[in-house]
Structures are given as C-alpha cells and as structure tokens.
C-alpha cells in the first residue's frame, strides 16, 4: 500500500458521516488490544480554542523534558500532523502499516448490523491511539473531535479534562441552545477528575452541575485563576498568570489575539493540576514552552507589504474574536477579506459580524464538499452591504484577486474555514502569487 492509497481509504470513511456513539470505536480498539488504556491523557474539548490550548500545554510539557503525544483535528499542513510526539509527526511508513492493520478490522465491524460502518474520525482516532501506545509517551494531549459525550475520543480516562469555550455550532448534532451544547461538551468529565474551563453563563451552570454529580473538581478562569495582559505587538503578547499555586510574571506567547491569553491560562491551570499527578514542571519550562509554541493558521502573519494574515475562524464565536483582534492587534489602511465558509455554519450571522469591517471582499470555495456556494454568499453579502464583492471559485484565483486589490498599506485577510486556510497557506508559502 502506498501513502496516497492509505489516505484515500481513510478519507473514504467520510461518506459515513458524523455518526456519533462509542460502540464502534470501542469495538475497534478492542480488536487492537485497547491501546488507549496504556496511556495517560489530558483531554481537551470545547467549541473554540481546543487546538491552541492543546499546543500550548504540549509545548510546556515538552520543555519540561517529557515525551508528549499530541492529537488534533483537522490537519492544517498535511494529514500526518494530526498525530505527533514531541513535534515529530507520525512517519508515513508507520501510518501505512497502521492503515493495513485497521482496515480489515473496520470491514469486520461494518458487517455487524448493530455496530455499522466506523467513521473517518473513529478510524483516525484508533490509528492515533495505536501509534501512541507503541511510542509510549509520558502523556497524550488529546483534542475532542466534535461535542464530547459521544465523541470517539471519549473512551479515555484522563488525568485532567478541559472544556475551553461553549457556543452554538453543529446545532443539528449537539442541540440548539448553549446549555444543550454544554451538556454534550461536559460528557468528557469523568468521576472525581479535575476539570478546567473558561466557560461562562448558562453553559457554566450546566458544567458545574455535572461536576457536582460526578464529584469532579472544577477550576474556572476568572475565579480560580486568571491572566493579565501586559503588552502585545505583531510578534506576540506578554502577560501575567495568577494561578492556583503559581504566580508567573512576564510570560510571552507568539500567538496573537487576547483570547489566546485565555487559552494559555487554561493550559497553565491544567498543567498545574498535572503537577498534582506527578508531573514536575519548573517555572523555566512554562516560560520556554509558551514562547516556543507553534500553532499555524491562527492569526498567522505571512507577509507585511501588504500585511497578509490567515486565520482559522470558522464559526460565529471565532469571528467575534477575529473582529476584536482586527481592532486591537493590527494597523492597516483597508481590509481586503478573502472569505470561504462551510454551508453548515451560521453563515448569515458570520457575515453580519465580519462584513462591516471589510472594505472589499473576495468570495471563494473552501476545499470541502460542505462548502457554501460562493455565488450564494456573494448575493447575501451584496444584500447586507454596498462594498465591492468579487467571486472566484478557485482559492488561488481568489488570492491573486485579493493581492491585485491591495496596496502596501492594506491588509489581506484569509478566513472562514480551516480548509480554506490550509490551501491558502500552502499557496502563499510557495510565493506563487507574489
């Protein structure tokens, strides 16, 4: 089997959709010898900020000398970056071997009328757990795929659980209210475990209730720990961390946007709790790890004349954070926005949030079968605003158009979907259009 053939088979599982439930992943892992039961986990769920929080925590642990697995989704640069150990992705040859091992087991499960076809995410999760069990890292930082309660990652018994934020997304699966969504997210909370969150409002009430029922210990941003921004520029941010057991001054992260300070504080709080589980984390590890973190595609600057920024904002909460960052972080004359959104998002709400701050818009199609039609988006934008709108089906053409519209004092922003950001990043790094 070749690498492309292995990826093609994995992606063929997508046609079985987001069929939530733990019975298929448990069966698959059972055939594989339950690799997840041989590992320690930091389990991270939530609507936004999961990946950034995971990357921050993993970087600090690695700086402290630990071997750290990291499992995130979706991938940004290439498929293998979804599962890594100390920043080193799974080798392609090992991925091929694991696909060869998992494929017949998947087909065996599919023949069971009760279990049905394992989904793409279930297959990838099983592959990741098997890979990590072979490498035996000290800890795996594990990002939830969708929801929590019925997500394929929720077969683990973590040392610490994290729920970043809760806001409406995937409402057709998770529910139509933040309380219903919070219930699904809180499904990752296990009995008598430590839980860290930055959730507020009605969603926090739900999480607090579930923690009481499960006798879990909840630590909340703003109540039990907090951050304080000191300074920020295009190279990063400096902040203080006031924790449960630590006071850390003048910490630096290279990530932009004030919400990243919240994510960093949540990661630090989770790490403090891991300290109670036997992990030794000196202050210098916190400093080095935070400063060394790399998380591409999140307010990432790829050029300066004009200013070129890509951001993985893909839902309303993320676009609200992006809009705030546009006024707090960046200076520019005009904003040229390259936008591509998936049709199953709150499209109109997103447009109402971001269109007012753009001067010109280039609408394109993310590389996903779930992509919203650019022509439909264009019509909606024109109904909301008289600003110039250009339609370009191909992402490369959209980027060329955006650069043709931009002066050196302007900003070109690419946002709306990680599928759009991933392809745009590859094009921009190859400097095809500049």
pLDDT of residue 231: 96
Following CA atoms 30, 31, 37, 39 in sequence, which dihedral angle do they give, to the nearest 10 degrees? -150
Domain holding 133: CATH number?
3.40.1190.10
Give the residue carrying structure tokens 């709306």: 416
Same domain, 353 and 394: yes
Q: Which of 253, 274, 292 is the last residue of a domain?
A: 292
**Do 225 and 363 fall into the same domain?**
no
Based on the number of CB atoms within 10 Å of its own CB, is 9 exposed (0-12), middle (13-18) or buried (19 or more)?
middle
**Structural element, H or E, at residue 393:** none
Indicate if 306 and 218 belong to the same structural domain: no
Q: Does the residue 244 lie in any domain?
A: yes
Question: Are residues 330 and 274 located together in one domain of the fold?
Answer: no
Closest among 214, 222, 224, 258 to 238, alpha carbons compared: 258
For the chain, which residues score pLDDT lower than 50? 432-434
Indicate whether 234 and 354 sit together in one domain: no
Q: What six digits make up the tokens of 150?
A: 């019925």
Is 133 domain-assigned? yes
368 HSE (CA, 13 A, CB side):
20
Of 334, 352, 340, 356, the residue nearest 391 (C-alpha): 340
* 333 and 284 assigned to the same domain: no
Q: DSSP assignment, residue 122?
A: H
Tokens of 316: 């309303």
State residue 16's pLDDT score.
57
The DSSP annotation for 51-72 comes to HHHHHHHHHHHHHTT--EEEE-
pTM of the predicted protein model? 0.94
Tally the domains of the chain. 2
Based on the fold, state whether residues 354 and 238 are members of the same structural domain: no
d(CA 380, CA 20): 33
> What does the pLDDT read at residue 15?
61
Same domain, 258 and 402: no
User: Which of 244, 273, 292 is the last residue in one of the domains?
Assistant: 292
Same domain, 241 and 341: no
Domain assignment present for residue 157? The answer is yes
The partner residues of 162 in beta bridges, in order of sequence, read 44, 196
In a domain, 434, yes or no: no
For residue 8, being part of any structural domain is answered with: yes
DSSP annotation of 276 reads T
Whether residues 284 and 245 fall in one domain: yes
Question: Quick check: helix, strand or coil at residue 136?
Answer: coil
Tokens of 67: 């071997």
Q: Which residue has the tokens 């694991």?
A: 98
Q: Which residues of 291-309 are buried (b: 16+ CB within 10 A; e: fewer)?
A: eebebbbbbbebeeebbbb
Rounded CA-CA distance 94/77 in Å is: 18
Domain with 425 in it = 300-429
Give the pair of three-digit tokens for residue 68: 């750290």
């Amino acid at each position: 089997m070749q690498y492309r053939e292995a990826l093609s088979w994995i992606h063929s599982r997508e046609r079985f959709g987001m069929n939530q439930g733990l019975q298929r992943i448990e069966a698959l892992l059972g055939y594989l010898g339950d690799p997840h039961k041989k590992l320690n986990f930091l389990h991270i769920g939530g609507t936004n900020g999961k990946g950034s929080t995971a990357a921050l925590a993993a970087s600090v642990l690695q700086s402290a000398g630990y071997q750290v697995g990291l499992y995130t989704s979706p991938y940004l640069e290439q498929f293998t970056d979804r599962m890594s150990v100390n920043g080193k992705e799974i080798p392609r040859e090992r991925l091929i071997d694991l696909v060869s091992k998992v494929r017949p087991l998947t087909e065996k499960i599919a023949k069971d009328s009760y279990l049905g076809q394992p989904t793409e995410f279930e297959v990838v999760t099983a592959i990741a757990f098997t890979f990590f069990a072979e490498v035996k890292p000290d800890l795996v930082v594990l990002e939830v795929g969708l929801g929590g309660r019925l997500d394929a990652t929720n077969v683990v018994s973590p040392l610490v659980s994290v729920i970043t934020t809760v806001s409406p997304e995937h409402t057709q699966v998770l529910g139509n209210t933040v309380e219903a969504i919070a219930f699904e997210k809180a499904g990752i909370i296990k009995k008598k475990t430590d839980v860290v969150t930055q959730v507020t409002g009605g969603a926090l009430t739900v999480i607090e209730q579930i923690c009481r029922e499960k006798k879990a210990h909840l630590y909340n941003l703003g109540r039990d720990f907090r951050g304080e921004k000191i300074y920020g520029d295009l190279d990063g941010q400096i902040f203080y961390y006031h924790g449960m057991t630590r006071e850390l001054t003048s910490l630096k992260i290279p990530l932009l946007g004030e919400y990243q300070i919240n994510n960093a504080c949540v990661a630090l709080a989770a790490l403090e709790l891991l300290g109670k589980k036997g992990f030794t984390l000196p202050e210098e590890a916190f400093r080095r790890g935070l400063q060394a973190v790399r998380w591409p595609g999140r307010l990432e600057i790829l050029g300066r004349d004009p200013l070129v920024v890509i951001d993985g904002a893909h839902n309303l909460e993320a676009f609200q954070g992006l809009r705030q960052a546009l006024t707090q972080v960046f200076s520019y004359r005009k904003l040229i926005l390259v936008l591509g959104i998936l049709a199953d998002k709150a499209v109109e709400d997103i447009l109402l949030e971001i269109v007012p701050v753009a001067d010109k818009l280039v609408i394109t199609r993310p590389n996903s079968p779930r992509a919203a039609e650019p022509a439909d988006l264009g019509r909606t934008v024109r109904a909301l605003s008289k600003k110039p709108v250009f339609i370009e089906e191909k992402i490369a053409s959209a980027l060329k158009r955006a650069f043709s519209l931009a002066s050196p004092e302007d900003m070109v922003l690419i946002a709306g979907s990680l599928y759009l950001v991933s392809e745009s990043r590859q094009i921009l790094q190859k400097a095809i259009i500049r």
